[in-house]
Structure 1
Amino acid sequence: MGWAIHLLFACFFGALQKAMVSAHDGAMPVNVGVILDVSTSAGKKSWTSISMAVDDFYATHGNCTTRVVLHLRNSKKDVVGAAAAAVDLLKNFQVQAIIGPETSTEASFVINLGSQSQVPVLSFSATSPSLSPTRAPFFVRTTLNDSSQVGAIAAIVRYFGWREVVPVYEDSEYGAGVIPFLVDALQVVDSGVPYRSVIPSAAAEEEMDKELYKLMTMQTRVFIVHMLPALGARFFQRAKNLGMMSGGYVWITTDGITDVLEELDHILRITEAMQGVIAVRPLVEISEDVVNFTARFRSRFRQENPTIKAADPSVFQLWAYDTTWATTMAVENLGPKRSSFRRTQSGDHSTDLDVIGSSESGPALLNAILNTRFKGLAGDFRLLGSQLQSSAYEIVNVIGNSARVIEFWTPKLGISKQLDTAVGAGLNSIIWPGISAAVPKGWEIPTGGKKLRIGVPVKKGFNQFVNVGWEPSTNRTVVTGYCIDIFKAVMEALPYAVTYEFFPFRPSANSYDHLIYQVYLKNFDAVVGDTTITAERTLYVDFTMPYTESGVSMVVPVKEDPRKMWVFLKPLTPNLWLVSFVFFVFMGFTVLVIEHSNVEFGRQPSERLGKVFYFVFSVLVFSQTESLRSNFSRIAMVVWMFVVLILTSSYTASLTSRLTVQQLQPTAADLKQLLSTGAYIGYQDGSFAAEILKRMGFKSSKLRHFSTSDQYAEALLQGGAKGGVDAIFDEIPYLKLFLSEHCNGFTMLSWTYKTDGFGFVFQKGSPLVPDVSRAVLNVTEGDKMVAIQNKWFRDTICPSQNNAVTSASLNLYQFSGLFLITGVVSTLAALIFLAVHSRNSTIRGPLIRNILHGPPNPNQAHH
């Protein structure tokens, strides 16, 4: 205690001596307070750095009109001590600025005093984001905000694909301030935070061990440590003693520990307990100025503290140097101004703050500090929003007794090997805890490696999907089925081994929702079976990628087509029938015009019309007896006969198909028809299909549940009026299995209600889900999936399913080209014929008459 008092008085008289020298030189002294914890090595080092900054500034700047006089006060590692020191500096020395204190907790009180007295408070080590210059306008953060490093940490997590991360932080202003920013950054990279571990600042070893044991029981193995150096050193030593610095664990530290790692190792040999740790820290270029400063710093620190082993300055000492330099430069730029504190007008000064008042030159000095720019030891000194702006971070790996730089990170480029380019980014050269080069997957089976508890449904029917049986020879439960084989294949496809055990479970009230809810209650780690992915279920569990086709449809009975008597009209659409008839008439008139002089068509109008149209229609069977005399009519009829040939051939093929294949029709077209007729609908026990039907408007009294495919068939054959059902509403995999066993008399409609298919169920946020989903895709896209399907399902094609396919009628558009050609050719033939015969005007009359009456009778003409 005596040496501390001696140091305090030495500093005090040293400051007075500097003030006297400054006054003698004509420079105006400006008091600046410094609040540090000089009982620690970090506090002593910071004081050395601050003192050197003042000396170096005036050594390089001659003829200064001002002279900064430093007044050091000891915060005594206490919030009250820091506040008392600030009051003393403001009240008794009327300091124009305060540098410090070191911790965020101490700074939160001092910056409030600075704001009330309008004295700038510059902190080079209070990094907590909870200290905001927007709420304290006279607070200037000359260090990096802790939130600026969360992007680098999140980039590491995203690079390795870790799905869950547990923050471990100190229960203080410093520790808790960055957590909201860290959680937000992790959410951006799709990484969750299942738990937050809080360590008291003065935690005993028993308290740390209790929390570490809790972390060991969790499946997450990625931890982000954010603590002050002293607590962090103790924490990692306890973690090493409990075996948590071994293979499979991932530890990431923030810059609070990394910035002073070498100093901690020098005192506590902390790096022995941190082998394999990944850390981030601000990038500081080792320039010639830094090297020169380091050498001078070691020499001066040894002189001022002969009992302490000399150590290199950390980045905090570089920031302390730059902060003091900026303050001194701002004071000089502001010029010599006599400053005083303006007190309140009231004469009743009941507190020290009332006595202090507010600084008249404080706002001007604050503005001068904020506008100061220079190249400092730690980099560019540039304040924006009263805070030092970050540029880049180093990602380091603790190996041996030092931290090895492996990558860089910048907000613009992300992780990269070089600061000016993002090419070549990679974090593959890391040595992990346990001295392992293998990247940890980020999670482990909890509680010492117990097997995963897998719930499987016990059901009565459709046992091809899941079947729970009993094997008498081994006296144990046997779980088999299509879903089980796929799950086993998926587990084998994972890049690591996962042990598991099946536990049969009979859902209450035959509801799969009850089984899935057991995963939410953590009675099971997962559920494997024919469990469908639905939006409601994803609210409390996670599903893997689906491994079956999706959708819900209906199976209905089939019946004879009641319109079979008129089936001969079905091959052609009404439009095609109409246009065909019109063209028959058109071709008749065309032939009648061109063949007006052909006596084989008769002489009377009724006779000619009848024979001409009979001639045109007889083309259908090519039985016409009349002969054509004009080449124009022959050309038109050749084209028309080609059209008739194609039309009759197509009609014959379509009609044959309908008469021989299309025998059956479904009894219902869709759910709307069933709903309007009050039909009864069947569904499978435990299925969510019942809820879908109710949402569509079906009453519970119209719904009947069944367990097996045989019950499905029996109910459909009975019909809804006789105690059965009119349709079965279920998922497509079940309906296909049903139809493969009951081919005759049933059909599945093409109508489908969209669902996501079957998936495996895991607890919310389980890190297994992404890996299992990728394995599901690998299995379903490979040959193993085909083998599993062939094992459990027969490849049966039901004739009734083919019969139920309705043949489409031939439409007008399909024959429009033929009709177009026929119309054009026939019209041109008739027009050309008329043009040729119209040259002789004398025959116009006979032509029109002959069209209806035929050519004149020769005998009548002779008489």
Structure 2
Amino acid sequence: MLMKKMPCTNLYQYLSLCFIILTCQVVLIKAQRTIDVGSLLDFTSPRGREGQASISIALEDFYALNANYSTRLAVHVRDCKQDDISAASAAIDLLKNIRVQAIIGPRTSTQAKFVSDLGNQTHIPIISYSATSPTLSSDHTPFFLRTTVNDSSQVGAITAIVSHFGWHEAVPVYEDSDFGMGMIPYLVDSLQEINTQVPYRSVIHSYATDEQINLELLKLKSMPTRVFIVHMMYDLATRFFSKASENDMMSAGYVWIITDSVANVIDSIGPLTISSMQGVIGVRPYIQSTKKIVDFTSSLKSRLRQENPNIDPPEPTVYELWAYDTVWAVAMAVENAQLPDENEWVSQIGDNSNDLGRLGVCKTGTKLLNLILNTTFDGIAGKFHLVDRQLQSSNFEIVNVIGKSYQQLGFWTPQVGFASTLTFTASSVLKPVIWPGHSTATPKGWQIPTAGKNLRVGVPVKDGFQQFVKIERNKVTNQTIVTGYCIDMFDAVMQSLPYYVPYEYVALEDGDGPSNLTYTQMVEGVYLKKYDAFVGDTTIIANRSLFVDFTLPYTDTGVQMVVPIRDKRSTSMWIFL
């Protein structure tokens, strides 16, 4: 092979250029330092895989947009399952063996309470996008951040719904855990401010059996209050509403309000569960749909289909959106922190004979914590800005479970109250609600327990004066139709009661014709307990009053004579004098 002879100077320049290029590549590779971060997920929950996929997509999107950044997050995933011990053990493993500089998670408020104590001890930021209990106070857990909203922020929206429909009693039904109990004091105080009483608090254990749930539902059913505010995690809530439906407590007259822990995941609730929640009202933070969310939804579903082609991925919930934004916030803070190549830890003073004592303290943890607190950007879930170490939300969406999904009733904000449109201008009305039992009539919220029995009201079947009481029978449905002035009066009285009493009319007839009973005999039927009340054109007389109590008369009946009269008074002007 023949080669053209290259001058020495050109060869020198060529080799120098190659050296510079190689040096730049080495410097570039070296500059992309890896920062270890832990992630605690619960793969036994319905949203565990979705959370992991959201974190992975967030990392890919962030570094695709910021390819010139000198740091890269390496997320180490651990399964914390459903119990607190597993979560704490997984966190210790990340701190001790990986030496992570931040932990994203855990999922529940109870687990977060354990893990946040480890963060305080090691000065490692613990960031949860799903632990919402107000008991996780920032004063006691300075290294715990939540990129989700505090449960107490939705109390105003719930109270506004109760006030809007004029209910004077409500019963909280909540999970026996830090998550469940954390919001209740705020809710009770807010209800009392609008003069709504809380006669009972229904507490259900997180791992309650079906029999225990049934016993509590029967207790609620025996009480007159019919307005229930349910605050529990999704797993328990699905079983609870299934049993409520079996106990005929999803029928007309009942009111069920769910908090955002369940309302946030309505889009992904299965058809069997959604069928047992018809008529439920939900409150949840409002997230406006954007192109970012559409693109993220497409990526998330595609990722989940790759992992399991046999499933139809559900719509992402707000928790997946918050997980995505959390990763972006940590990645931004890590880049700005200029952390050293190796995580610097110092030993703790005191007893180092156990794993907790040997964990040590991260020297850069406080710096990273402050940078996350000061990170602000427009995320896919809205403005990312932490106040008092937690995400802020003032706009809430009110939804009504109908059919296979839900319909939007309106919005609520602390500034204007209810709003019917996205402009968030004040509006005193919500869209029409379909209540349990497919009823459109607003429940009174209070009902005398009748164990499923209706008040039986006897009505006379007589010829003549059908303007007072008229009995007809639908030939198609064979249903008895009762109308007339007396019936209208009775219906109006029953509707004016501050509570609901179920009742039905009993036509006192012989076969399909008028009854041979006298009015006195019909009235005595109440005394003999054949029916509970009697309504009709009944005259109040002394001997009938010995057996029953009458209402005050609401019309006069009798025989009267009308005759013309002649005025014999003089019309002379002298009469005046």
Structure 2 length as normaliser, TM-score? 0.74
Task: Provide the secondary structure at the position in 2 that maps to 1:96.
Answer: coil
Q: How far off is 1:278 after superposition?
A: 0.4
What's the CA shift for 1:416?
1.2
Pick closer, same or farther for the CA change 1:48–1:490 going to 2, 3 Å. Answer: closer
Matched, 1:195 2:212: no
Q: 1:341 aligns with which of 326, 340, 345?
A: 345
Distance 1:23 1:190, change over 3 A: farther
Q: Counterparts of 1:72 and 1:115 in 2: how far apart (Å)?
A: 21
Is this contact kept in 2: 1:344–1:357, CA < 8 A? Answer: yes
Equivalent pair of 1:28/1:336 in contact (CA under 8 Å): no
Report what 1:367 is aligned to. Answer: 370
Equivalent residue number for residue 428 of structure 2: 425
Q: 1:204 to 1:498 in 2, by over 3 A?
A: closer
Instruction: Give the CA deviation at 1:302.
Output: 1.6
More helix by share: 1
Distance 1:293 1:174, change over 3 A: same
1:247 to 2:267 alignment: no
The aligned counterpart of 1:67 is: 72
Q: Could you say which residue in structure 2 is the equivalent of 1:671?
A: none
The answer as to whether partners of 1:111 and 1:121 remain within 8 angstroms in 2 is: yes
Q: How many Å separate the matches in 2 of 1:80 and 1:321?
A: 26
Q: Which amino acid aligns with 1:71?
A: H
5 Å matches for 1:240-279? 240-265=245-270, 269-279=272-282
CA displacement at 1:424 relative to structure 2:
3.2
Counterpart amino acid of residue 173 in structure 1: D
CA drift at 1:29 = 1.1
Question: What is the CA–CA distance in structure 2 between the aligned matches of 1:499 and 1:111, rounded to whole Å?
Answer: 51
Deviation at 1:77, TM superposition (A): 1.6
Question: Is 1:323 matched up with 2:348?
Answer: no
Is 2:447–2:501's contact at 8 Å kept on the other side of the alignment?
Answer: no
Q: Deviations over 1:585-624 (max 9, x none)?
A: xxxxxxxxxxxxxxxxxxxxxxxxxxxxxxxxxxxxxxxx
State the shift of 1:490 in Å: 13
Please state how far the C-alpha of 1:494 moved relative to its aligned partner. 5.3
Report how far residue 240 of structure 1 moved.
0.6
Match of 2:227 in 1: 222
Inter-partner Cα distance in structure 1 for 2:166 and 2:490 = 23
State how far apart, in whole Å, the 1-side matches of 2:243 and 2:490 are. 41
2:57 aligns to what?
52
Match among 172, 190, 197 for residue 177 of structure 2:
172
Counterpart secondary structure, 2:356: helix
Residue pairs, 1:412-561, within 5 angstroms: 412-448=415-451, 492=493, 495-496=496-497
SS at match of 1:70: strand
Checking the alignment, whether the CA contact within 8 Å between 1:410 and 1:419 is kept in structure 2 is no
Identify if the C-alpha distance between structure 1 residues 449 and 314 changes in structure 2 by more than 3 Å, giving closer, same or farther: closer
- What's the secondary structure of 1:442's corresponding residue? coil
Q: Distance in 2 between matches of 1:450 and 1:274?
A: 24
Amino acid paired to 2:376: R
Asked if residue 107 in structure 1 is aligned to residue 130 in structure 2, the reply is no
**Where do 1:671-686 residues align within 5 Å?**
none
Looking at structure 2, the residues matched to 375 and 54 of structure 1 have their Cα atoms a distance apart, in angstroms, of 16
State the alpha-carbon separation in 1 of the partners of residues 345 and 310 from structure 2: 41
Unaligned runs of 5+ in 2: 1-25, 456-488, 503-551, 557-577
State whether structure 2 residue 104 is matched by structure 1 residue 90.
no
2:269 and 2:48 mapped to 1: Cα distance? Answer: 14
Q: Give the Cα separation in 1 of the matches to 2:159 and 2:396.
A: 13
Distance 1:26 1:146 in 2: 42
Q: Which residue of 1 aligns with 2:571?
A: none
Distance 1:424 1:350, change over 3 A: same
AA aligned opposite 1:230? D
Change (3 A) 1:47 1:495: same
- Superposed displacement of residue 367, structure 1: 0.2
Looking at structure 2, the residues matched to 403 and 326 of structure 1 have their Cα atoms a distance apart, in angstroms, of 32
Q: Give per-residue Cα distances to partners, 1:663-719, cap 9 Å, x unaligned.
A: xxxxxxxxxxxxxxxxxxxxxxxxxxxxxxxxxxxxxxxxxxxxxxxxxxxxxxxxx
Cα contact 2:105–2:129 (8 A) shared by 1: yes
1:535-564 deviations in Å (ceiling 9; x for gaps): xxxxxxxxxxxxxxxxxxxxxxxxxxxxxx
- Any stretches of 5+ residues in structure 1 without a counterpart? 1-20, 453-487, 501-778, 788-863
Cα deviation for residue 52 of structure 1 reads 1.1
Change (3 A) 1:345 1:439: closer
CA distance in 2, matches of 1:60, 1:450: 66
Question: SS at 2:269's partner residue?
Answer: helix
Tell me if the contact between 1:22 and 1:67 (Cα under 8 Å) persists in the aligned partners.
no
- Secondary structure, counterpart of 2:236 in structure 1: helix
The amino acid of 1:58's aligned partner reads: Y
Q: Determine helix, strand or coil for the equivalent of 2:195.
A: coil
**What's the RMSD between the two structures over aligned residues?**
2.6
SS of match in other structure, 2:438: coil
Q: Do the aligned residues in 1 keep the contact of 2:420 with 2:430 (CA within 8 Å)?
A: no
Matched residues in 2 for 1:26 and 1:407: separation? 51
Which of 21, 35, 38 lines up with 2:40 in the alignment?
Answer: 35
1: CA distance between counterparts of 2:349 and 2:396? 51
Quote the Cα distance in structure 2 between the aligned partners of 1:133 and 1:227: 23
Deviations, residues 413-466 of structure 1 (Å, cap 9, x unaligned):
1111134444433125100000011000001012437899xxxxxxxxxxxxxx
What is the identity, as a one-letter code, of the residue corresponding to 1:408? F
Aligned twin of 2:356: 353
Asked if the contact 1:66–1:336 (Cα under 8 Å) also holds between the matched residues in 2, the reply is no
Deviation at 1:212, TM superposition (A): 0.6
Aligned to 1:641: none
Q: Which amino acid aligns with 2:183?
A: V
CA deviations over 1:69-113 (Å, ceiling 9, x no partner):
101111022211100011010011111100001011111100000
Instruction: Within 5 Å, give how 1:746-785 maps onto structure 2.
Output: none
Following TM superposition, by how much is the alpha carbon of 1:306 offset from its aligned partner in structure 2, in angstroms? 3.9
Q: Is the 8 A contact 1:121 1:138 kept in 2?
A: yes
For the 8 Å contact 1:128–1:174, the answer to whether it is kept is yes
Give 1:135's aligned amino acid: H
TM-fit CA distance, 1:55: 1.3
Q: Which residue of 2 aligns with 1:138?
A: 143
* Secondary structure of 1:72's aligned partner: strand
Distance in 2 (alpha carbons) for counterparts of 1:150 and 1:259: 15
Distance 1:311 1:260 in 2: 10
Structure 1 letter corresponding to 2:116 = I
2-side partners of 1:96 and 1:331: how far apart?
9
Distance 1:489 1:55 in 2: 69
- Quote the Cα distance in structure 2 between the aligned partners of 1:498 and 1:138: 51
Secondary structure at the counterpart of residue 446 of structure 1:
coil
Counterpart residue type for residue 232 of structure 1: A
Deviation at 1:41, TM superposition (A): 3.2
Q: Percent identity?
A: 50
Cα pair 1:65 1:335 within 8 Å, conserved: no
Q: Computing the radius of gyration over CA atoms, which structure comes out larger, 1 or 2?
A: 1
Report how far residue 65 of structure 1 moved: 1.4
| 1:811-847 Cα distance to aligned partner (Å, 9 max, x none) | xxxxxxxxxxxxxxxxxxxxxxxxxxxxxxxxxxxxx
Deviations 1:358-403 (A, max 9, x none): 1100000000000000111111111001010012110000001112
Aligned to 1:391: 394
The alignment partner of 1:438 has SS state of coil
C-alpha deviation, 1:312, in angstroms: 2.0
- Paired residue for 2:298, among 265, 277, 295? 295
* Separation (CA, whole Å) in 1 of partners of 2:66 and 2:501: 72
Q: TM-score, normalised by structure 1?
A: 0.50
Query: For the structure 1 residues 498 and 414, does the alpha-carbon distance in structure 2 shift closer, same or farther, using more than 3 Å as the test?
Result: closer
Residue identity matched to 1:364: K
Q: 1:345 deviation in Å?
A: 5.1
Report the Cα offset of residue 499 of structure 1: 7.4
Residues 34 and 98, structure 1, Cα contact 8 Å, conserved in 2: yes
